[in-house]
Amino acid sequence: MNLSDEIKRLHELHQAGALTDAEFEQAKARVLSAASTVNLKKGNGTLSDELSALRRSRADRWIGGVCGGLALASGVDSWVWRLVFALFTFTFGFGAVVYLLLWIFVPEE
C-alpha cells in the first residue's frame, strides 16, 4: 500500500466516524513520518552520488557489463539499455562510442 492509499484510507475512516479529529491527525502524522524515514533510508542522493555508485555488472553482461550496471543503477531492465545503445548506434552513430567510454571509465563490481 503506497502513501496516498494510506492517507485515503485514513480519510475514509475519519469520514465514517471511526476516527476522531485528533486520532486522524496523529495517524496521518505517523504515516507521513514513516514515509519520510523510508525515503531517507533509500538514500535519495544527488546525481553525483548515483553516478559514483555506478558499476559494470559481472553477472548481467553480454560484452562489457555496462547495460547490466545501468540496469542495476536505474531500475530499468538491461535489455532496454541494450536496445537504446543499439538504436543510438544505428541512427546517430554515437551509441557505440558512449558504450565504449562507459566500458573504459566505469569500474567493475
**pLDDT one-digit tens code per residue, 6-58:** 888 888 888 998 888 888 888 888 888 776 665 544 555 566 666 677 888 88
Q: What is the pTM of this model?
A: 0.53
Both 83 and 58 in a single domain?
yes
C-alpha cell at position 106 = 566505469
C-alpha cell at position 58 = 559481472
How far from 16 is each of 11, 12, 48, 55, 90, CA to CA, in Å?
9, 6, 47, 51, 60
Confidence of residue 83 (pLDDT cuts 50, 70, 90): very high
- One-letter amino acid for residue 105 of the chain: F
- Considering its fold, how many domains does the chain have in total? 2
| Cα three-residue angle 62-68-74, rounded to 5 degrees | 155
Both 32 and 66 in a single domain?
no
The answer to whether residues 109 and 58 touch, using CB atoms and an 8 Å cutoff, is yes
- Boundaries of domain holding 79: 47-105
